[in-house]
Structure 1
Amino acid sequence: MTTSSSPITLNSLRKIPLSYASCSIGKTSDSLQQRLEAITNAGFTAIELSFPDIKQYAEQLLDKKVGPDDFDELCQAAREIRKLCQQLNLEIMILQPFSNFEGWPKGSSDREKAFSKAKGWIQLMNACGTDLLQVGSTDSSSEEKITTNRDEIVIDLRELADMLAEENYRMAYENWCWSTHAPTWKDVWEIVKQVDRPNVGLCLDTFQTAGGEWGDPTTASGLIEHVSKSELDRRWKASMEDLTASIPAEKIYLLQISDAYKPKTPIEKKIKNELLPRGQWSHDFRPMPYDGGYLPIEDVAKAVLKTGFRGYFSMEIFDSGPDGTGKTYNLGHFAKSAMENMQRLLKNVSDKST
């Protein structure tokens, strides 16, 4: 464990590569090429390539329905997306979101399907030209079947890590704040340490961290209310200090950036569309920084940067407006605003005297 944190100089922040998640801009009627052009024109140098975008592109390319496990056809589309990104000078930094992989009962058909899916996604990584796979901590939609036993979770992730290592690929493990077994940064960090593979690190996220430990979409205040506000803030500050002190910079593979709206009406405490309240919140209520959100996302960015991390900052926005019903915007203008607000975030989290 480190005893001091790295200074956050503006000069060091200028070296940070900036990415944008392909799934988090535009609408279904906007072509992938249009979205990628907006991203590169705004100054981003890489994308997180989303599996739904590959599937949609495959269906347009082949003019037919393509199933989620039709990997020959999906790989054909991924190769074309790779060419398109090369033409636009965009790197495909990561393939995402790989989820509901770990924790299925041994010997079950569900576990067999999960590992078969992993093999297919490794083929997609080959096709699109990325060496990094984002793995989201298992969500709660399959809670009855998926174990929360950490030892079993670790066994599955080790096996996946070893499959990836055969191709010299890496895994970025992310906490989802509605996850069954790993909703916090500390949970996924403990798991990554236990997995103990050189090709396994963390995908951290400003929304997932602040939205799990400080915010709560089911309360009128938008805050966790089972403790006092002063105690909540104390715990939050301690968590961010612990993050800085605990995680080596080289074990952080990327930081995803987004904020959250405080829902005008608290989200009901029940499952909707197979998502718990924080999952619903994540799906529709995530604006870019400084565009109506309220979470302490600068605290997360500072804590991560104080580890010495200077890798990818990636904008991942799911903005359906403050009421979650939809938002209309110009694609190019939106991407440029995202870059401006990313730069504002970097400036705000720097040590002002450096």
Structure 2
Amino acid sequence: MSISRASLQKIPLSYASCSIGCGPKDTLPRRLEAISAAGFTAIELSFPDILDHGLQITGQPISPIDYPKIIPIAEDIRKLCDSHGLSIMMLQPFSNLEGWVKGSMDREQAFARASGWMEIMNVVGTDLLQVGATDTPEPKISCERETIIADLRLLSELLAKRNYRLAYENWCWSTHAPSWKAVWEIVKAVDRPNCGLCLDTFQTAGSEWGDPTTKSGLIEDVPQAELRKRFDASMDELATTVPAEKIYLLQISDAYKVSPPLEDKTIDGLRPRGRWSHDYRPMPYDGGYLPIEDVARAVLKTGFRGWFSMEIFDSGPKGDGKKYEMVSFAKQAMDSMQRFLASCATD
């Protein structure tokens, strides 16, 4: 399928609220102002941003499960977004839902948390919940396919009662579903009309092309020519097998090649690709090296023309922090997004 420039001009553009700002003075109201001024029309609302905003306006930390206190804060954020002409496209990132032992306290708490987040979705006016493929290691969770499917099917059914949708995302360090194909196979098996995909240029290329623990920054267990062949085949498969209507959004970011490479071990509960994701993700054309345009073209070849959302975690090439002025940074992100879209056209 060709990708026309005209069709790309219709794509709505969002920005993840958690992926801008480099210090405590960059409060959520200031971030929303910068995002709006740059021309984005929506945000992905990050749950930690709700808690941080609550601390800012009340002077007191708020427990992540104290929903009677969280709800008024979420209402205030919706009003702030309205004042800047921003909709709230999605609430994120819900993690570690699936795979807990049935009847366990962990599973009960996961679904209780889902109920609380649905109340937040109601007050902020979004119908979309992002769920990341769990990164809790075995044996704490089961990677048994039927357990994973049953949990996501139950969540889909709970969301459907409110006409909400579930956007399931592959995190490239996930315990059981690090690739786009792994989450797509699960979504197909869940088989619910409100369960689809949150795809991500970094997560896809970061699981099938890049590796932050190698000097080359690439997966090195196969020759590079074979790696390219496999990656191209994977993108062709994505383009030809995933229905456009089962893709709910595409998140956009690149990655720095880490030098020296990250240690190949878990640190502070995060695997190497998890640490890579948290700190080494610039916007397109700002120092990254992953084949992110290839990922976006594959998604667009399905016919998808929904949300493109900038989600970057840029702590600089060394991961030790990056200082910038938010208004100019957000405008740079919009310029980057427009360049990225133009580069994806094939006409």
Shorter-chain TM range is over 0.9
2:320 alignment partner, one of 297, 302, 325: 325
Q: What SS class does the counterpart of residue 345 from structure 1 fall into?
A: helix
Paired position in structure 2 for 1:222: 217
Task: Look up the equivalent residue of 1:288 and give its one-letter code.
Answer: M
Question: 5 Å matches for 1:50-65?
Answer: 50-65=46-61
Paired position in structure 2 for 1:251: 246
1:158 alignment partner, one of 124, 132, 153: 153
Paired position in structure 1 for 2:84: 88
Q: CA deviation at 1:57?
A: 1.0
1:18 alignment partner, one of 1, 13, 17: 13
Mapped to 2, the partners of 1:125 and 1:143 lie a distance apart of 31
Paired position in structure 2 for 1:119: 115
1:293 alignment partner, one of 267, 288, 291: 288
Q: CA deviation at 1:29?
A: 2.4
Mapped to 1, the partners of 2:153 and 2:336 lie a distance apart of 37
Paired position in structure 2 for 1:133: 129
Paired position in structure 1 for 2:99: 103
Give unmatched runs, 5+ long, in structure 1.
Answer: 1-5
* Percent of aligned pairs sharing the same letter: 64
Q: What SS class does the counterpart of residue 20 from structure 1 fall into?
A: strand
Question: 5 Å matches for 1:187-226?
Answer: 187-226=182-221
Q: CA deviation at 1:43?
A: 0.5
Q: What SS class does the counterpart of residue 135 from structure 1 fall into?
A: strand
Q: What SS class does the counterpart of residue 218 from structure 1 fall into?
A: coil
Task: Look up the equivalent residue of 1:332 and give its one-letter code.
Answer: V
Paired position in structure 2 for 1:3: none
Q: What SS class does the counterpart of residue 94 from structure 1 fall into?
A: strand
Paired position in structure 1 for 2:38: 42
Paired position in structure 1 for 2:276: 281
Q: CA deviation at 1:217?
A: 0.3
Q: CA deviation at 1:7?
A: 1.6
Q: CA deviation at 1:61?
A: 2.3
Mapped to 2, the partners of 1:295 and 1:244 lie a distance apart of 18
Paired position in structure 2 for 1:175: 170
Q: CA deviation at 1:63?
A: 2.1
Mapped to 2, the partners of 1:7 and 1:92 lie a distance apart of 31
Which string of whole-angstrom CA distances, capped at 9 and with x for unpartnered residues, describes residues 248-267 of structure 1? 00000000000000001010
1:336 alignment partner, one of 323, 331, 344: 331
Q: What SS class does the counterpart of residue 217 from structure 2 fall into?
A: coil
Q: CA deviation at 1:58?
A: 1.4
Confirm or deny that 1:268 pairs with 2:263: yes
TM-score between the two structures when normalised by the length of structure 2: 0.99
Task: Look up the equivalent residue of 1:119 and give its one-letter code.
Answer: S
Task: Look up the equivalent residue of 2:14 and give its one-letter code.
Answer: S
Which string of whole-angstrom CA distances, capped at 9 and with x for unpartnered residues, describes residues 66-106 of structure 1? 00101111111001100110111001000000000100011
Task: Look up the equivalent residue of 2:333 and give its one-letter code.
Answer: A
Which string of whole-angstrom CA distances, capped at 9 and with x for unpartnered residues, describes residues 224-257 of structure 1? 0000000000000000000001100000000000
Mapped to 1, the partners of 2:191 and 2:94 lie a distance apart of 20
Task: Look up the equivalent residue of 1:232 and give its one-letter code.
Answer: L
Task: Look up the equivalent residue of 1:95 and give its one-letter code.
Answer: L
Paired position in structure 2 for 1:231: 226
Mapped to 2, the partners of 1:60 and 1:282 lie a distance apart of 27
1:241 alignment partner, one of 228, 232, 236: 236
Mapped to 2, the partners of 1:62 and 1:50 lie a distance apart of 19
